[in-house]
Chains A and B, each alone.
Chain A
């Protein structure tokens, strides 16, 4: 009976109900987007860091991986210490640099990663194979397009280039054996990878026995923080960063987006709440007489409140899934805008859909909408019956 009344009340004013549903849906969409934004990047980055299974990263003391041009001296001995740990499955050294490719009149520069192909975790093979020999190289599509070469070609590359004198140093002839996608680089960033020994040789004495970074993979079930602390103690010349710590750093640097998400999310919640409050208030004001009659014939106050809350619940429950769909669409759009950040790894998403967080947010909106109806409905059900039934109290 009360459900019938609730539905009939919503159906009585169709335009108003539709607009209210739309309004709440938009609030829900914005709230969902902000929830996705507040944790999306963090989770996306975490996924990226763990995608190849490496839980620890070693970088020069006091720096974060590839934050500076500093390198770790004595790379081989550092790796030996790491690989000697019983919990370590693999350690992947990475030396960062640049390679210059003379092409006709211009010189194309690409980021270069010196790796051990067998244990590397920086790229995924799209076509071809891993470098097996010292003079083999893999490149991404951006590089191949820029230098005008393809898989199987031989190219001339140099580690050093003096633009004033237009002279090259550390030159080598390399064969392109693979097309790759770099996991931690932007899609349009030119990059190549080759054996670390080759890059060191091309870089000259200053690059000997050096690495920019080492990634460490632990056995399943290993205590990551314990290993981190142990390596930190054994290797004072490096900073050992776990995934959790890396995420903290990311959080700090990208706190702006989290704060924006919290503010806009709160605003969405408040606006949704206000909209439902206004709607319920106007709706019950119109039905004050009807409510007074129900009270007069013996319907309890709480049941009347329940009927009105049923209306606001129905409104919210219809609007929430609509908001979910709208939110996912707008999130895609917004994510596309933010994905054009310079230097952002291709696989980073700012807006990540996490079912639990999303349902929590939408649940919060539904509950707040229901609560928004409590005060106006209780107020209307508590008005003096006689005074509400007849305009003049004295009859």
Chain B
């Protein structure tokens, strides 16, 4: 691995079979992500960015190539090991939040903690800490149906952070949100990154991409540009968060 990179991707290829045809989603992608980096992956629909995110999230397997996360090869892990890896090393935030409707906000955050074997009292404390961190300390008992889109996404982020992952992945996290709520989300991601979380987002949202420190452009399954963003172009809007950042 290159000097302690959190993510190392080499010659990654992913092809899908559509009937008789083989459709290449990724055509040999290589890059690394350093600890505490904030990377945005952008590109037109069908360019392969979500496929790339799925491979980084160990919820899909490449056709060829290698993926290493936090020093461990993850591209050919057996299902049980992959599941364990996702639980402990990766946090995933989805466009549609994907909260469990039957559980409260706190219980949704507790779910990965319960799976990791944490005791009830510890889980509860940790879940409340995380909800406070994302500004939803007083909404712990609310069901997802009682929360706004932005609030649901914050719960999803808190859930993703539950087991202190090495890497936070987000797939179009502002896709279902209005502009104002989207801006709040962008600020939250910036804060997460400032607090030390390595963040990789896939997005069509220009504001979210601008907020990242590094932008990887993709087209037709390959990386066409990989640039560090100009700090002057980045926006910071700390809206609706807890007064003080918490120690992690």
Contact = CB atoms under 8 A, between A and B. Distances in A.
B30 interface: no
Nearest to A295: B83
Interface string A287-304: 001100111111111010
B149 to A, nearest CB: 17
A5 interface: yes
B98 A289 contact: yes
Given A295-B83, A299-B87, A300-B83, A5 B102 contact: yes
B16 interface: yes
Please classify the interface of chain A as helix (H, G, I), strand (E, B), loop, or mixed, using the class held by over half of its residues.
Answer: helix
A63 to B, nearest CB: 70
B154 interface: no
A394 B16 contact: yes
27 contacts: A1-B110, A1-B114, A4-B107, A8-B103, A12-B102, A289-B98, A293-B98, A296-B59, A296-B92, A296-B94, A297-B160, A298-B83, A298-B85, A298-B88, A298-B115, A298-B163, A299-B83, A301-B79, A385-B54, A385-B60, A386-B60, A387-B60, A389-B94, A390-B50, A394-B51, A395-B25, A395-B49
B91 to A, nearest CB: 8
B47 to A, nearest CB: 8
B86 interface: yes
B159 interface: yes
Contacts of A299: 83, 87, 111-112, 115
Most buried by B among A5, A393, A395: A395
Given A289-B98, A384-B60, A296 B79 contact: no
Contact of A393 (B16, B103, B116): B16
Interface string B58-98: 01100000000000000000011001111110101010001
Most buried by A among B23, B83, B84: B83
Interface residues of A, number: 27
Interface string A303-342: 1000000000000000000000000000000000000000
Contacts, number: 96
Contacts of B92: 296-297
A5 to B, nearest CB: 6
Interface in A132-175: none
B196 interface: no
B23 A5 contact: no
B146 to A, nearest CB: 15
A297 B50 contact: no
B135 interface: no
Contacts of A300: 80, 83-84, 115
B48 interface: yes
A4 B94 contact: no
Nearest to A9: B102
B98 A1 contact: no
A300 B80 CA distance: 7
B84 to A, nearest CB: 7
Nearest 8 pairs of A and B residues by beta carbon: A298-B87, A395-B50, A8-B102, A386-B60, A293-B98, A385-B59, A386-B54, A298-B86
A290 B97 CA distance: 11
Contacts of B87: 297-299
A387 B17 CA distance: 12
Given A8-B102, A386-B51, 17 more contacts: A1-B114, A4-B103, A4-B107, A293-B100, A295-B83, A296-B92, A297-B111, A298-B83, A298-B86, A298-B90, A300-B80, A385-B59, A387-B60, A393-B16, A393-B25, A394-B16, A395-B48
A303 B115 contact: yes
B124 to A, nearest CB: 11
A309 to B, nearest CB: 17
A395 B98 contact: no
Contacts of A394: 16, 23, 25, 46, 48, 51
A395 B115 contact: no
A21 to B, nearest CB: 19
Contacts of A301: 79-80, 83
Contacts of B112: 297-299
B148 interface: no
Given A1-B110, A389-B94, A296 B46 contact: no
B182 interface: no
B59 A294 contact: no
B100 A290 contact: yes
Contact of B59 (A8, A9, A290, A295): A295
Contacts of B101: 8
Contacts of A4: 102-103, 107
B57 interface: yes
A294 B83 CA distance: 10
Interface string A2-14: 0011001100100
Contacts of A393: 16, 25, 51
A296 B16 CA distance: 20
A395 B112 CA distance: 26
A289 B100 CA distance: 10
Contacts of B49: 395
Nearest to B84: A298
A283 B49 CA distance: 32
A303 B25 CA distance: 32
Contacts of B159: 297
Interface string B20-49: 000101000000000000000000011011
B27 to A, nearest CB: 12
A1 B90 CA distance: 21
